[in-house]
Amino acid sequence: MFVDCFRRAASITIVVFMFRLPTVAAVVVAATALTTTPVHAAARPGIDLDRAQRHQVVDGFGYSIAFQRSSLVHNLSQAKREEALDLLLGRENGAAPSILRLGIGSSATNEYDKMLSIQPTDPGGPAATPNYTWDGWDGGQVWYAKEARERGIDRFYADAWSAPGYMKDNGTDTNGGALCGLQGVSCASGDWREAYARYLVQFARFYRQEGIRLDEIGFTNEPDWTASYASMRFTPAQAAEFVKVLGPIARRAGLDVACCDSFGWQQSDPYVQAIEADPQARRYVDLVTGHGYASPADRPLSTTKTTWMSEWAPSSTVDGWNEAWDSGKGTDGIAIAQRIHDTLALAGSSAFLFWLGSSRGGTAALMQIDDANDAYRVSSRLYAFAAYSRFIRPGAVRIGVDSAHDGLKVSAYRNADGTEVVEIINTTDAAITTGVDVKRPTAYLTDNTHRLEKVPGLVSRHGHRTTVELAPRSLTTLVTSG
């Protein structure tokens, strides 16, 4: 997906509405071991951590910089550019991503909203000597990746929305179509499967020569959805088939393979099952990825492999640009916080990648860039994202939580350095006082008037227990020292 005014607004609206349904609260209970006693009936109940209960290892949090969105930041004046980069990439006061998702281009043109192919013209068939080209810019992604690396970000996932049009049965990189040579796909030009696999690996080689090592590559984006922009279809069987072509080539190049970035989280399961059923394909898939549009990430996928939510953002079709924390819109910061919680605590995902870090106009990105007027604006979504990404670092383990509060979404993590992080979303309209079994935490508040800020008086000590005051409709982040 790349448009900012996301399609299928109706499906996104349903997801946001579901956050308020009692039945979803029941799902949260089942998956995170929360019990649901009405707040008014609970006598100062507490939040207990089960440190012996270990769930998934967290790989990190990130967002996409595809379709030339990173170039918008570069277009700002130097002073504004540095401010925007600090907010989008900074560990101390910014979004603090640990993963960036790049786009592998397929277009023959370099217009905004497109990604230029490294081989825009047919070299003369799949067996011909490739005529790759490289400009060292890649729609601004190379520059942005280098800026990220300077700030300590060192995990990069690159994903293709489509193969170049001459490799497909519809002759264009847009409007779906299929890769020539796959089962059931016959083209006069021949079988392009291996040529496409080598094309993807060459993209990674170009980045390596720029000093950026890509960790994972994906050969498809939403293979179950046809879009008017760059898109390409794979059935689950075809995806498993292509994995067996790409896998050996990628492995020799030191790259992991990710699959399959399905349109919805639950829609990933048929792809997972096709790969799991084929021992050779299973061997070459290192990471299972899915999106959150057709269905939210509210349960684990049917695989023991590491899973990532590799793309999601709310629809901005109705909302337009929205900076509010809690205005009743799907693009509110609190709605994003709840989606991150569910992705980690219910689906067991090891990563959460938001769709866009920055974009222009009526976008649901974390930041709005008005490069024509040398200006930017920041949404509360950035701070909801940062509340998790800034403190839950790669290698952290999600641990067990037991809470006696209805209306709270709670998850807890232990970082490799021994620090513990407890994320508490108060979805109710009332303030709640509760005990938490963490020692001397630093508390950060994100709500209508606070943007991930330390607030005095939120925590206090009572005997062996810490008491925390949870503001209505808020996200409270507790961080302990190691």
The dihedral region occupied by 175, where left means phi > 0, alpha psi between -120 and 50, and beta the remainder, is left
Q: How far apart are CA 147 and CA 168, in angstroms?
A: 35
Q: Are residues 268 and 299 in contact, defined by beta-carbon separation less than 8 angstroms?
A: no
Instruction: Quickly list DSSP for 153-193.
Output: ---EEEEES---GGGBTTSSSBS---BTTSTT---TT---H
Q: Are residues 108 and 120 in contact, defined by beta-carbon separation less than 8 angstroms?
A: yes
| Domains, the chain | 33-56+398-479 (2.60.40.1180), 60-391 (3.20.20.80)
Give the H or E element holding residue 250: helix 236-252
CB within 8 A of 21, min separation 6: which ones?
A: none
Q: Are residues 162 and 230 in contact, defined by beta-carbon separation less than 8 angstroms?
A: yes
Report pLDDT for 19: 34
Q: How far apart are CA 300 and CA 307, in angstroms?
A: 8
Q: Are residues 362 and 370 in contact, defined by beta-carbon separation less than 8 angstroms?
A: no
Tokens (6 digits) for 287:
């990471």
The total number of residues written for the chain in this structure: 482
82-85, long-range: CB within 8 Å, 24+ apart, which pairs? Answer: 83/376, 84/358, 84/367, 84/369, 84/376, 85/147, 85/151
- 475 backbone dihedrals φ, ψ, rounded to 5°: -120, 120
pLDDT in tens, the chain (482 residues): 545 544 443 333 333 333 333 333 333 333 333 333 333 333 356 999 999 999 999 999 999 999 999 999 999 999 999 999 999 999 999 999 999 999 999 999 999 999 999 999 999 999 999 999 999 999 999 999 999 999 999 999 999 999 999 999 999 999 999 999 999 999 999 999 999 999 999 999 999 999 999 999 999 999 999 999 999 999 999 999 999 999 999 999 999 999 999 999 999 999 999 999 999 999 999 999 999 999 999 999 999 999 999 999 999 998 999 999 999 999 999 999 999 999 999 999 999 999 999 999 999 999 999 999 999 999 999 999 999 999 999 999 999 999 878 899 999 999 999 999 999 999 999 999 999 999 999 999 999 999 999 998 999 987 767 999 999 999 999 999 87
Residue 103 carries which side chain, given as an amino acid letter?
G
pTM for this predicted structure: 0.91
Q: Are residues 480 and 438 in contact, defined by beta-carbon separation less than 8 angstroms?
A: yes
- Cα R_g (the chain), whole angstroms: 22
Residue in 340, 323, 332, 452 with CA at minimum distance from that of residue 378: 323
Residue 356 carries which side chain, given as an amino acid letter?
L
Q: How far apart are CA 326 and CA 389, in angstroms?
A: 20
SS3 category, 121? coil
